[in-house]
Chains A and B, each alone.
Chain A
Amino acid sequence: MSTSAVNPKKRTGPVIFSEYNSGDGIKKAFSLKREDILFELKESKLKGRGGAGFPTSSKWMLTAAATSEKKFLICNADEGEPGTFKDRVLLQEYPELVFDGMVIGGYTIGAKYGIVYLRGEYEYIYESLQSYLQSMRKRNFLGNNILGSNFSFDIKIHLGAGAYVCGEETALIESLEGERGEPRNRPPYPVNTGYMGYPTVVNNVETLAAVPHIVCKSGKWFKKFGTDKSTGSKLFSVSGDCNKPGVYELPWGITIRELLNIVEAENTKAVQVGGASGICIPKSGFDRKLGYEDAATGGSVIVFNEKRNMLQVLKNFMEFFVEESCGQCTPCRIGNVKLLEGVEKIEKGNYTFSYINTLKELGNTMKVASKCGLGQSSPNSFISILENFKDEIFKSNGANNDRVG
């Protein structure tokens, strides 16, 4: 079984891949009060690393403040965004960070139950994760009365079954409850009404991995990296046309050009930041900074060189969304089909510019009217690729005169 290009445990990085020993975070957390941990988290300005970028401290604070007989902490390991593989690396090579983060999370919000929702495609790491959890229990870092305290927390791993939409937190919760993985109406949010109706925090793997570091080294330390609004570092999973694809931990605020240099990409035409739901940035935008202020991503960075046919890239993305849409709400279910049909029309030269504009307007509607993030972000690649590569696409696909009807 082959893994990523970079050797395990020889990874280096400012935050996540920095020095850490299993259990350190838990021990430090137990010496602090819950409010202190929340304070450090707030100081750090850590935002969700799955792509949505919601302030983690807010999520934890709301859940910690809720009174309920049960609370849950769910680790969202349903990494499905095309081009993202950093969570797999974290789970395979740094389980101590993720699970210590979960224990700290449970301690802070007052949850006794932790769930890891592992995507079905990662079934092959299920056993190693289970045995790691077992080792944690043996060392008293998990289970009843952790480290002799009166805090008990245990983690169960649930395997997904092949649905990208279950990466959305309410769809994830729905599938855990035995329903189709269709996102819920929000509000109420999971911190209020989550798994089985109880207050639930759903965090990305990388977010949880950052927590032990913040607890050990303080939120102020974490803020040193990155930018003002995008603090800390990010694990970028880079793939595509470059010589050194793989997972890189880099501070937020790095420009695309700098990243391309690191991964030794040549003759780059475009960079897809944020996976299929992200935006496609042409050469003119390579000085843009990666971060929540400008080009945000859950980690996926896909590099395209001059030889790539951008229309085919777009088609691949739209086919992905048509297949993975849960089908519940009208704009996403039918909208994605129409966008794909539009791409196929362009492919065949059988389109008019006014119809393409209509589809762009449809994309704008989908962005605001869809029920969940999938439908809200699937038009991003459609709009950005058609906009940024219009010369390539419309010239080479014939019919550039506006036909009526």
Chain B
Amino acid sequence: MTESDNIRVPVSQQPHSVTKSKKENGIGGLVSVQINEKAVMVPLGTTILEACRKNQIHIPTLCHHEDLCLAGLCRICVVDVEGMKTLQAACSFPITSPLKIHTSTPMVRKARRHIIDLILSEHCGECYSCIRNGNCELQALAKEYGVDGYRFGHVEQPRYSVDRSSVSVIRDLNKCILCRRCIRTCIDLQEVGVLEAIDRGDKTHIGTFLDKPLADVICINCGQCTNRCPTAALSTNDPSDEIWEAIDNPNKHVVIQTAPSPRAAIGEEFGVAPGKSFTGELNSALKRIGFDKVFDTNFTADLTIIEEGTELLNRLKKVLVNCDTSVKLPQFTSCSPGWIKFIEHFYPEYLDYLSTAKSPQQMFGAVIKTFYAKETGINPDDIVTVALMPCSAKKFECNRPEMNSSGYKDVDFGLTTREMATMIKEAGIYLPEMPKTGFDDPFGEASGAGLIFGATGGVMEAALRTVYELVTGREVPFKNLNIEPCRGFEGIKQASVKLENCVNEYSFLEGVDLKFLVAHGTANAKKVMQMLKRGELNDVHFVEIMACPGGCLGGGGQPIPTSAEIRRKRAQAIYEEEASLPIRKSHENPYVKYIYERFLTEGPCGKLSHKLLHTHYTKRGRFIS
């Protein structure tokens, strides 16, 4: 069996299927088009939609999404191209010759209105009880086109039963408008391949292999589909009712840990433009809601760096000094639960390459219900740990049977950014205007290294800052500790840093070119695993993989909508917030030092660390779970 890319997307569906001219200003590079009596010049191959957007002409879309390949199947974006008998879909019509386009003729408007009415006639759902009320693309379109009645009728009874089998993602086919974005996300973007269109004609529905419940197939819970679904057909499994119950219960001590990616994006849920972090404001809001303590996940991110960094050095020693062939290199990061489930399903024979360190979320849960409980004298039975994450896979992660090393369920609930915003609004709080407060002790403020976990390359950068200094006694040779080769949204980044003049303890690494690789999105994870299979990673030591495009800041639970531009802004917010912090290396975090002195006294990768902060993985089926 070859590992060739059996790419599903036909050539006509890929963006820009027309070969673009090399020089835009060269002959044939630009085409003149007339859109609504406005004459513009556009590069050859531009779609009508792109041309209109560049010229502030609005065309509604539904199945179109910037991150995904073309579809042209909802037909909402149809426009009138002079000389063509039928209307053309603006999103997928490449301009290759001079055209006259009209975007709002009576026929176009009638067509759009009919299409919305048709979709509404089969859409079984009530806006006021729907989680996407206020942020639903169908709702917005209906408003834009003045829908005031069900011209073609309306379904009152649901046709399908809701799939609640998965603890991360809920599928409600009754709300599905068959835009196929979820399929293009799952198969083309993430290359996991869980969802496809089943049956034909009006029986078409989005389904899994043999229409099994989602929990029974190879869904990795990354939630990218929930982030791109225009309606509530796909949503994350919201535990906020149970969290409210715990908060309202005076006997329960409810603590929440917040990750950096939600903080960098939650402002979008309150109408703020992407790119501003609301860390301090969020702390106040959470206290006002009723959480007893607010902790910074970056603390355990720092802890993860210490544990994982130590593990890497141990592996390097075993390989380079003891020539132990049972030890696997490169070491893969293990903090992305979507990535973990991905490798458990698709590459179970390579589980030994994964670091055994838990994710920061799970480390925190274990630490809270042991160390924190001891320090404060609170019964761990009464502690409820909530994790605010950008991620829907974290819901699956905290429910994994082995995640109870504290003797209790380490993390009780995983909450996504969107779900958190709803809770905040429910409490009548307008987040952007809250005062800023800090995090609670004993975990206090974390280092910047922990904060940059939210961006792709962040874990690698944080790990290098610590590992390099441990090995050489010097800071990483990058200006302001900003390791640029780790930053940016390139699918797979590879770089290296030379270890010279090492301290005695690590003299075995003298002269070693520490090679690392960073990948984000499971499509790239797949490529990396294929490189591993082909032996192309034999001299690489450390690989960071994040399941979501962009890293955690592009997580499935993050605010909707998402786009490359939005993810870039979120990354900017994260790096800016980090640069201003006083401590920027994990090993300099005083609270990290504290926990090792007081609690994990055998040090990183010692017995207690292993019990609480490390985990093991499960081989899973290739096609069904």
Contacts and interface: CB of A to CB of B under 8 A. Distances in A.
A165 B578 CA distance: 56
A388 interface: no
A153 to B, nearest CB: 24
B75 A180 contact: no
Interface string B185-222: 00000000000010111111000000000000000000
Interface string A353-389: 0000010011011011111000010000000000000
A177 B110 CA distance: 36
Contacts of B199: 327
A260 interface: no
Contacts of B122: 334
Contact of B78 (A177, A328, A358, A369): A369
B104 interface: no
A163 B8 contact: no
Interface string A151-192: 000000000000100000010001001011000111110000
Nearest to A321: B201
B200 A185 contact: no
Interface string B102-125: 000001001100110011011000
Interface stretch (A30-38, A266-274, A293-301, A335-343): A335-343
Interface in A181-224: 184-188, 193, 197
Contacts of B115: 330-331, 365, 369
Contact of A185 (B13, B76, B177, B178): B13
A56 interface: no
Contact of B17 (A180, A188, A336): A188
A128 B107 CA distance: 50
Given A188-B94, A333-B202, A177 B10 contact: yes
B93 interface: yes
B86 A369 contact: yes
A186 B12 contact: yes
A237 interface: no
B540 interface: no
Nearest to B118: A334
B96 A187 contact: yes
Given A185-B92, A358-B151, A365 B17 contact: no
Interface stretch (B24-32, B66-74, B290-298, B378-386): B66-74
Given A184-B12, A365-B114, A328 B73 contact: yes
Contacts of B499: none
Interface string B148-168: 000111000000000000000
Contact of B75 (A197, A323, A370): A370
A326 interface: yes
A338 B151 CA distance: 11
Contacts of B85: 368
A188 B204 contact: no
B89 interface: yes
A365 B197 contact: no
Interface string B376-401: 00000000000000000000000000
B19 to A, nearest CB: 10
Given A329-B73, A331-B114, A369-B115, A338 B121 contact: yes
A281 interface: no
Contact of B178 (A197, A322, A327, A370): A327
B92 A188 contact: no
A331 B86 contact: no
Nearest to B62: A330
Given A188-B12, A333-B178, A368 B94 contact: no
A43 interface: no
Contacts of A327: 178, 197, 199-204
Contacts of A179: 8, 10
A24 interface: no
A347 interface: no
A323 B201 contact: yes
A344 interface: no
A399 B579 CA distance: 76
A371 B75 contact: yes
B289 interface: no
B21 to A, nearest CB: 16
Contacts of A163: 200
Given A362-B152, A367-B86, 9 more contacts: A185-B70, A197-B11, A325-B200, A330-B115, A338-B118, A358-B151, A361-B114, A369-B86, A369-B87
Cβ-closest 6 pairs across A and B: A327-B204, A185-B92, A334-B118, A197-B11, A369-B111, A325-B201
Interface of B: 8, 10-13, 17-18, 70, 72-76, 78, 85-87, 89, 92-94, 96, 107, 110-111, 114-115, 118-119, 121-122, 151-153, 177-178, 197, 199-204
26 contacts: A179-B10, A180-B200, A184-B10, A185-B12, A185-B72, A187-B93, A197-B11, A324-B201, A325-B201, A327-B199, A330-B177, A333-B201, A334-B121, A334-B152, A335-B114, A338-B121, A341-B153, A358-B152, A361-B114, A362-B114, A362-B118, A362-B152, A365-B114, A368-B87, A368-B107, A371-B73
